[in-house]
């Protein structure tokens, strides 16, 4: 049975290791693979030669080469009568054999025969192969045989029983579905009763622990047997292999782990036995010798002493876990010995003893009934907060945070603040979430609450922790909101300010700016602008949003805020740039619209600075995504609004408080809209955009009456220079009446520009007589992807005079656009094209003025390459179905003739 050396394999490995060059080594391996392939081609190949070749293939596979031969030879070796050849065959099949269907049945039959072999060594390698295999079919075929061997015909050999337990545990880990635990629980109890070998008992306990992780109740029969085993091990009546002076300590730990993992049954009949076992274990635990000096003296102990002490502490820890699990159903159980043992550990000056003590306390804290006993030891835990060991300090912080309540928070919170202040960044990141939770839970709301939170913010580094700070500072109480705002103003006025404080102050001032007087808002906006360059990009986005919010409340800040946002529209960070552009976009749509989007609870009266309801503030103080995406929070709403200048403008209808639905779709939604319809095809556009990326879905529908189909022959996209367009699918083909097809497009903004992409559709109609008719449709796609700069300041009540004064060039006519008023920008571009200027043209974007719910005027200002100013205006009227008609365009300036 002794292994025989394979000389050919030894020579191959030795020669391979002596080759220095990687290329030569690769050549040598390829050459050896060719030799093995030739050997397998010979008909008269002995078992030894076959084993040698298979082992070479296994080694070649282990050093990283692909091996695609020797599978059938490995299966033949599995069925060999020679044990050495059988071992080589099992090894090769385990390493080389992939799931080849032709060989699967041969492998299963061989394993099934070997598991019933008379030799226990052959049975052992078969069990090992089953456990290490991931083949579902092999497990299904062998499952019933393994269960029969486990319960009906158990192995006499303890070695095979142990392997069988471990094999079944591996099958359960791979696929627990075949195991019906209600049937297996009685089987486990029977096996515990019959098992006498401690090694097998250890493997069986591991199997039960795997079952317990799936189902924790209904193990009372097993618990009674386990308690009996523990008593026998404790008394020494069960003989087994000991470890130094301990009687099989690993089995004791596993059995206690099982007791701590199951769900307690208060009506169990073994409660007295359980309490007796725990008392005897605690009695021994109290006699553990605890090092009272620092760790340096502990290193003088021998390795045997260290190992024995570690094992005893493991037993003590599992005993505490069992007590924490079962204490509620043991009303007469005394924790006096446990308290004495913890006092002994906590009074030690050794850090590794403290770590063990804190781990036991953490296990005991899972049962609230033990909190009263542990609260008496709070001074010990507070003293550990000053430990030089980082692990002890962090674990002690977790313990005192759980024990902190209304009676002792005045002692614990200052100590935790002191620990955070004196720790390194890694330790601060671990303790700050714990400290924030303590402050939120036990500190009374008021000035001290706000002061404590801001002291923690100084040492907060993680974005998730900063989000928690915003959450715990929110309040529906106006006095509490004023306290938060007052603290933020004090912090911004001070000299010591870091990025975390700046972000929190900007966020909270944005939340509660309705509590600030108008005259103070300007000073706060100036402070935030001064600190803007000191913040990270995320903080800068928060500052931009806060300053814009101030402008929504105070009209006197409008112009300065607009310039501030415009100055950062070309920021180097894409998030800051996008936030500035989106906020500027909303401001350019008018004050009322901007206020309705920023302040949410906007009233349609003539006031421009609005008040939030308390519930509205609570709904906005969300922790997730607050720092990363301020600029898109209002996108998609359908809030009704009015132009703030309408109260002073003649010709405006004050009673008409709703704007045309076309403008709502332009600003407040990405709802789909028809951009073309000719009775044969209708073209809809749906879009979504973020930062500099836009996604469009062009949906083409056959709306022709009857049964005549339309064939889409070609779809083409022509993008302007500032937009990079891309088609993502093919949408050509035949469309039956009522059918539609979607063409997916995407765009990336590369530079500033106002031109829209050109989209053309070629299609044919097949008449009943004659040749098919070819048609072509050319459209402009309304891509909402642009940057907005300072608009031309034109008062609404002067718009009529301005219109009449523009006599130089004029174009009138009927044009039709779809209901999606993104096409309003097309009107502006028609104006711009009349100037015939170079690429350096700077477009100052449009302003919108509503005359009635069916008539409006848009205005833009332009500046040509030679700095010659020009003004473009256009008016339109809406037809009943939402189409725009009767467009007039006027251009004033010295530009060339309109084309």
Q: Do 265 and 320 touch, CB atoms closer than 8 A? A: no
Query: Could you tell me whether strands 855-863 and 842-850 are parallel, antiparallel, or unpaired per DSSP bridges?
Result: antiparallel
764 backbone dihedrals φ, ψ, rounded to 5°:
-125, 150
**Checking phi first, is residue 741 left (phi over 0); if not, alpha (psi -120 to 50) or beta?**
beta
Alpha helices in 385-444 (DSSP H): 390-403, 409-422, 425-442
Element (H, E) at 758: strand 758-765
Judged on CB neighbours under 10 Å (0-12, 13-18, 19+), 709 is middle
Q: CA 893 to CA 809: how far, in whole Å? A: 9
378 backbone dihedrals φ, ψ, rounded to 5°:
-55, -40
The single residue listed with the structure tokens 């030679």 is 866
Contacts of 665 (CB under 8 A, 6+ apart): 671, 673, 819, 820, 821, 822
Q: CA 237 to CA 233: how far, in whole Å? A: 6
388 backbone dihedrals φ, ψ, rounded to 5°:
-75, -20
Judged on CB neighbours under 10 Å (0-12, 13-18, 19+), 61 is middle
The single residue listed with the structure tokens 């696929």 is 175
Contacts of 519 (CB under 8 A, 6+ apart): none
Q: Which two tokens stand for residue 288?
A: 């553990």
The single residue listed with the structure tokens 């955009």 is 689
578 backbone dihedrals φ, ψ, rounded to 5°:
-65, -40
Q: CA 629 to CA 544: how far, in whole Å? A: 12
Q: What is the DSSP letter of 757?
A: P
Contacts of 863 (CB under 8 A, 6+ apart): 841, 842, 844, 869, 870
- Classified as helix, coil or strand, 412 is helix
Element (H, E) at 854: none
Q: CA 70 to CA 357: how far, in whole Å? A: 57
Q: CA 209 to CA 693: how far, in whole Å? A: 53
Judged on CB neighbours under 10 Å (0-12, 13-18, 19+), 655 is exposed
Compute the Cα dihedral for 245, 251, 257, 262 and give only its sign: negative
Q: Which two tokens stand for residue 334?
A: 């005394």
Element (H, E) at 115: none
**Nearest one of 565, 533, 531 to 548, comparing CA atoms:** 565
Q: CA 127 to CA 167: how far, in whole Å? A: 6
Full DSSP string of 465-485: HHHHHHHHH--S-HHHHHHHH
The end-to-end CA distance of the chain, in Å, is: 100
Provide the annotated binding site.
48, 52-56
Q: CA 83 to CA 291: how far, in whole Å? A: 53
The single residue listed with the structure tokens 């996108």 is 635
Residue 418, Cβ neighbours under 10 Å: how many?
12
Q: What b/e string do you get for 35-53 counting C-beta neighbours within 10 Å, with b at 16 or more? A: ebeebbeeeeeebeebbbb
Q: CA 895 to CA 873: how far, in whole Å? A: 15
């Amino acid at each position: 049975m002794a292994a025989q050396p394979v000389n050919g394999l030894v020579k191959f490995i030795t020669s391979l290791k002596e080759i220095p060059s990687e290329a030569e080594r690769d050549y040598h391996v390829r050459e050896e693979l060719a030799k093995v392939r030739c050997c397998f081609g010979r008909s008269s190949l002995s078992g030894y030669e076959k084993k040698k070749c298979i082992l070479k293939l296994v080694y070649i596979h282990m050093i990283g080469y692909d091996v695609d031969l020797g599978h059938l030879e490995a299966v033949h070796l599995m069925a060999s009568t020679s044990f050495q050849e059988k071992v080589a065959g099992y090894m090769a099949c385990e390493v080389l054999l992939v799931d080849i269907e032709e060989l699967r049945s041969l492998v299963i039959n061989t394993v099934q025969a070997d598991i019933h072999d008379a030799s226990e060594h052959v049975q052992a390698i078969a069990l090992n192969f089953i456990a290490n295999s991931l083949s579902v079919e092999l497990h299904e075929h062998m499952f019933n045989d393994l269960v029969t061997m486990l319960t009906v015909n158990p192995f006499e050999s303890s070695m095979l029983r142990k392997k069988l337990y471990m094999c079944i545990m591996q099958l359960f880990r791979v696929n627990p579905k075949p195991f019906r635990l209600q049937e297996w629980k009685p089987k486990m109890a029977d096996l515990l009763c019959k098992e006498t070998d401690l090694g097998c008992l250890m493997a069986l306990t591991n199997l039960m622990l795997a079952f317990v992780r799936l189902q924790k109740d209904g193990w009372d029969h097993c618990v009674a047997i386990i308690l009996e085993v523990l008593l026998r091990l404790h008394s020494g009546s069960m003989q087994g292999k000991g470890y130094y002076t301990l009687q099989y300590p690993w089995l004791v730990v596993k059995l206690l782990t099982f007791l701590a993992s199951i769900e307690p049954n208060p009506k169990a009949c073994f409660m007295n036995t359980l309490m007796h076992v725990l008392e005897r274990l605690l009695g021994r635990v109290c006699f553990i010798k605890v090092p009272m000096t620092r760790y340096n003296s502990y290193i003088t102990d021998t390795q045997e002493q260290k190992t024995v002490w570690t094992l005893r502490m493991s037993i003590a820890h599992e005993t505490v876990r069992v007590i924490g699990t079962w204490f509620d159903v043991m009303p007469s159980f005394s924790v006096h010995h446990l308290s004495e043992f913890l006092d002994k550990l906590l009074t030690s000056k050794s850090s590794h003893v403290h770590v063990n003590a804190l781990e036991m306390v953490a296990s005991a804290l899972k049962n609230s009934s033990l909190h009263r006993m542990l609260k008496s030891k709070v001074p010990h835990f507070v003293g550990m907060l000053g430990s030089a060991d980082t692990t002890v300090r962090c674990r002690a912080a977790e313990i005192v945070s759980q024990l902190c309540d209304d009676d002792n928070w005045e002692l614990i919170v200052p100590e935790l603040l002191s620990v955070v202040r004196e720790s390194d960044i890694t330790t601060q990141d671990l303790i700050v979430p714990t400290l924030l939770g303590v402050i939120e839970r036990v500190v009374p709301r008021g000035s001290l609450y706000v002061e404590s939170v801001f002291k923690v913010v100084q040492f907060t580094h993680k974005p998730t922790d900063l989000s928690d700070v915003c959450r715990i500072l929110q309040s529906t109480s106006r006095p509490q909101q004023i306290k938060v705002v007052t603290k933020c103003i004090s912090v911004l006025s001070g000299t010591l300010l870091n990025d975390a404080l700046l972000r929190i102050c900007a966020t909270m001032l944005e939340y509660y700016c309705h509590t600030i007087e108008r005259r103070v808002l300007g000073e706060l906006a100036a402070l935030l602008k001064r600190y803007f360059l000191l913040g990270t990009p995320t903080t800068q986005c928060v500052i931009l949003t806060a300053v814009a919010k101030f402008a929504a409340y105070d009209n006197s800040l409008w112009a300065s805020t607009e310039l501030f946002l415009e100055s950062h529209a070309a920021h180097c960070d894409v998030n800051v740039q996008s936030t500035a552009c989106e906020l500027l976009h909303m401001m350019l749509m008018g004050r009322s619209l901007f206020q309705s989007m920023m302040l949410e609870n906007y009233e349609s009266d003539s006031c421009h600075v609005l008040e939030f309801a308390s519930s509205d503030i609570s709904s906005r103080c969300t922790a997730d995504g607050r720092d990363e995406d301020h600029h898109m929070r209002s996108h998609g709403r359908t809030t009704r609004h009015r132009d703030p200048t309408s109260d002073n403008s003649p010709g405006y209808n004050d009673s008409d408080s709703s704007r045309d639905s076309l403008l709502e779709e332009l600003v407040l939604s990405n709802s789909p809209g028809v951009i073309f319809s000719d009775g044969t095809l209708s073209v809809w556009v749906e879009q979504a955009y973020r930062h500099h990326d836009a996604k469009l879905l062009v949906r083409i529908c056959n709306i022709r009456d009857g049964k005549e189909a339309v064939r889409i022959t070609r779809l083409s996209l022509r993008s302007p220079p500032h937009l990079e367009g891309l088609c993502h699918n093919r949408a050509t083909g035949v469309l039956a009446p009522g059918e539609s097809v979607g063409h997916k497009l995407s765009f990336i903004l590369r530079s500033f520009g106002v031109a829209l992409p050109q989209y053309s559709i070629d299609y044919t109609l097949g008449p009943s007589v004659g040749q098919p008719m070819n048609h072509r449709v050319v459209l402009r796609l309304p891509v909402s992807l642009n940057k907005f700069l300072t608009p031309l300041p034109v008062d609404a009540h002067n718009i009529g005079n301005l219109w009449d004064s523009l006599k130089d060039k004029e174009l009138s006519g009927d044009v039709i656009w779809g209901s999606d008023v993104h096409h309003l920008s097309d009107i502006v571009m028609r104006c711009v094209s009349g100037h015939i200027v170079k690429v350096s043209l700077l477009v100052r974007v449009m302003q919108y003025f509503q005359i009635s719910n069916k008539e409006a005027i848009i205005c833009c200002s332009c500046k040509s390459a030679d700095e010659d100013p020009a003004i473009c205006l256009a008016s339109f009227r809406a037809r009943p179905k939402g189409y725009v008609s009767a467009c007039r365009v006027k251009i004033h300036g010295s530009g060339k003739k309109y084309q």
